[in-house]
Chain A
């Protein structure tokens, strides 16, 4: 019998599974032993079963280009990613620290502006951010919480050190894959768990609900939470239904809401129901046609006034996008020192801010070695991968950088760590990242051991986004 591990050759990057000599790392040893006893044919069979289960459950996203609205599942890789307890401790500490700093930053830039006055973060950088909402200046959200939910994307460099690649402080998605991946893997392949006791992920929705309840307007005694979704055509709609169901809260669309006397209500069969906390998966721009985009039907007219009057908690608060602006990202370590007086537990990837003359000159001279990102883009779009780019592509980016420097940052290519992943004929290393989620509960940050591992399924690819051919893995955080 040919074991599926037989032909695994570690990647020329930090290999999560194998050490420099090709031996399984200590926390992967039990998994390696289990995999050794599984034939490739058996494994293939499990893959098929799992895909059928995911389709039946409707863990799908819609392919918009297809007129029939074909639904696809996000590729789920059956080989779990394992995180040792001591690594997770550091991650959780670093993420919590970062989120506290980001929240303090938001409170500051929409309030006193101390960090700008002290020139720790350039004033013009904040004011020129497309996500800096002028309407939100001076509006203090209930209990001073801005980023109730965030996702911090981490990667691992060649030495195995965890680095922050970017912050997601608006509406990070992906937690449904964490919950479903674990559930499906436990059913389809319980044998893989032999010798492991990963920390459970399924209490995430209740922890989220706790965070939302804690953020309710102080004058409300029994708050009603609702989850606002853009609707069934949104690619994360499945996640919205899952979270609403598991939290036991109403899933509402913009048309279900109306605002009267600065109070938000849902239209129900028994009349209006007051809503106190809205976990909204709708961007700022679409929340209120009276203040933001006038053509939006995804939010409700008057909702911003209700928010300003302190009658409804919006999670996340209006204007958090300035904190995850890619051009602000290089300053987060400075924010941590400034607000918390602590050294960052997780480092940034070295980043050049193209709006700075010196740094821009450096970037333009070294385009073939760098990754250039648009500060306004996400999802793996609008990037220049220097080493893989053509002369024409580099010229186009150079022109764009000179014309609108504020819209670009550049970073050296960081080779993401690699992990055994199922491919056509066995297991091969593929690059991965990690998105832990953080919940801000009052001034305490809860980092549940429920993190998303995304994997770039194409050989050599460093882009893990689902829109760019990425998949996901079950992620086991080990207890001590």
Chain B
């Protein structure tokens, strides 16, 4: 397929995934902050940290400022509204590759977000609004899986989706302070959509290290770092045709290394390294992986 098309598919999927993850982050943080079970100011600051957006320096950091900047921020490429706009802009460029279902889903998400503003959402409407964004973004993933041929185009969508998802999980973990109590970990699990799966998987009573190990190392939970990295690795190997476990290019080499480091890590190793240190290291290697993918598949210099 065209390199330009591959790149646009990749960025469409990345931005839709990011919009979904941020919507959940804001919704969960807002809900958990209402009854003050956690330090609201601290939680909102870490939400800004996950989003990679500077919190307003002259104002309280709270739900309203998060809605203004993380959801609707126009001065950044990182807000939900910006991600949706970028995703749709990329989808327009590859519209001939998408099914009507997939296109109308992303177009509908865009029209929905564009029709709202912080004022239109209001103090009580955020949860419903964010829920709609989440639902539509998830429907996008489902429609890609269910209506597109699982060929190269689909692999680039998978690549973008899981690379972004891994990066979001890493950034959420990076923001966790060393003294974080059970309430914070519960919030983090919920942000990662992991409360239920973790509850079913855990062996004993709640342990922070166990939650960390679950989010980082679970082989079956679809938002764990390890799971996401294997999806990325498989997508890359489907694209190159090289067998899994070998590498044909820089992207496969990087993804294989990160996946292997997660395959062979234990919960104690993570505890020793410290949650934030571990997560920061993974986040950096994911950045390297993103650059390697660009170099291999979306070169700036013309082929031939």
B4 within 8 A of A: yes
Q: How large is the interface on A (under 10, 10 to 19, 20 to 34, 35 or more residues)?
A: 20 to 34
Contact B95 A267 (CB under 8 A): no
Most chain B CB atoms below 10 A, which of A232, A242, A252, A268:
A268
Contact B239 A58 (CB under 8 A): no
Bound complex: CA of A258 vs CA of B303, how far in Å? 9
Chain A residues near B104: list those with CB within 8 A.
56-58
Among residues of B, the one whose C-beta sits closest to the C-beta of A237 is B92
Bound complex: CA of A245 vs CA of B2, how far in Å? 15
B178 within 8 A of A: no
B37 within 8 A of A: no
Contact A56 B107 (CB under 8 A): yes
Contact A245 B96 (CB under 8 A): yes
Among residues of A, the one whose C-beta sits closest to the C-beta of B239 is A269
Chain A residues near B103: list those with CB within 8 A.
58
Bound complex: CA of A260 vs CA of B302, how far in Å? 12
A250 within 8 A of B: yes
Tell me what chain A mostly uses at the interface: helix, strand, loop, or mixed. mixed
Contact A56 B304 (CB under 8 A): no
Given contacts A252-B2, A253-B4, A267-B304, contact A56 B239 (CB under 8 A): no
Contact B96 A256 (CB under 8 A): no
Contact B304 A244 (CB under 8 A): no
Given contacts A58-B103, A256-B4, contact A272 B303 (CB under 8 A): yes
Bound complex: CA of A58 vs CA of B111, how far in Å? 10
Bound complex: CA of A95 vs CA of B95, how far in Å? 33
Chain B residues near A244: list those with CB within 8 A.
96
Q: Which of B1, B96, B107, B152 contacts A57 (CB 8 A)?
A: B107
Contact A241 B1 (CB under 8 A): no
Least CB distance from A238 to B in Å reads: 8
Chain A residues near B239: list those with CB within 8 A.
269
Contact B93 A232 (CB under 8 A): yes
Tell me what chain B mostly uses at the interface: helix, strand, loop, or mixed. helix
Q: Which of A58, A238, A250 contacts B2 (CB 8 A)?
A: A250
Q: Which A residues between 123 and 139 are near B, CB-CB below 8 angstroms?
A: none
Among residues of A, the one whose C-beta sits closest to the C-beta of B106 is A58
Q: Which B residues between 84 and 137 are near A, CB-CB below 8 angstroms?
A: 89, 92-93, 95-97, 100, 103-104, 107-108, 111
Bound complex: CA of A290 vs CA of B297, how far in Å? 29
Least CB distance from A108 to B in Å reads: 37
Among residues of B, the one whose C-beta sits closest to the C-beta of A244 is B96
B170 within 8 A of A: no
Bound complex: CA of A57 vs CA of B2, how far in Å? 24
What are the interface flags for B269-304 relative to A under an 8 Å C-beta threshold, 1 for contact and 0 otherwise?
000000000000000000000000000010000111
A255 within 8 A of B: yes
Give the A-B pair count, Cβ closer than 8 A. 70
Q: Which of B93, B100, B152, B304 contacts A269 (CB 8 A)?
A: B152
Among residues of B, the one whose C-beta sits closest to the C-beta of A70 is B114
Chain A residues near B93: list those with CB within 8 A.
231-232
Q: Which A residues between 206 and 263 are near B, CB-CB below 8 angstroms?
A: 227, 231-232, 237-238, 240-242, 244-245, 250-253, 255-256, 258, 260
Most chain A CB atoms below 10 A, which of B2, B152, B297:
B2
B6 within 8 A of A: yes
Bound complex: CA of A267 vs CA of B107, how far in Å? 27
Least CB distance from A375 to B in Å reads: 35
A55 within 8 A of B: yes
Given contacts A57-B107, A252-B2, A253-B4, contact A241 B95 (CB under 8 A): yes
Contact A269 B297 (CB under 8 A): yes
Q: Which of B100, B297, B304 contacts A258 (CB 8 A)?
A: B304
A61 within 8 A of B: no
Contact B1 A269 (CB under 8 A): yes
B261 within 8 A of A: no
Contact B302 A56 (CB under 8 A): no
Contact A268 B1 (CB under 8 A): yes
B3 within 8 A of A: yes
Bound complex: CA of A238 vs CA of B304, how far in Å? 30
Bound complex: CA of A48 vs CA of B111, how far in Å? 16
Chain B residues near A56: list those with CB within 8 A.
104, 107-108, 111
Q: Which of A58, A227, A242, A260 contacts B304 (CB 8 A)?
A: A260
Contact B111 A55 (CB under 8 A): yes
A28 within 8 A of B: no
Residues of B whose CB lies within 8 Å of any CB of A are 1-4, 6, 89, 92-93, 95-97, 100, 103-104, 107-108, 111, 152, 239, 297, 302-304
Which 5 pairs across A and B sit closest by C-beta, in order of nearness? A244-B96, A241-B95, A251-B96, A241-B96, A245-B96
Q: Other than the known A56-B107, A237-B92, A256-B3, what 9 A-B pairs have Cβ atoms closer than 8 Å?
A: A56-B111, A58-B107, A227-B96, A232-B92, A232-B93, A250-B1, A253-B4, A268-B2, A268-B3
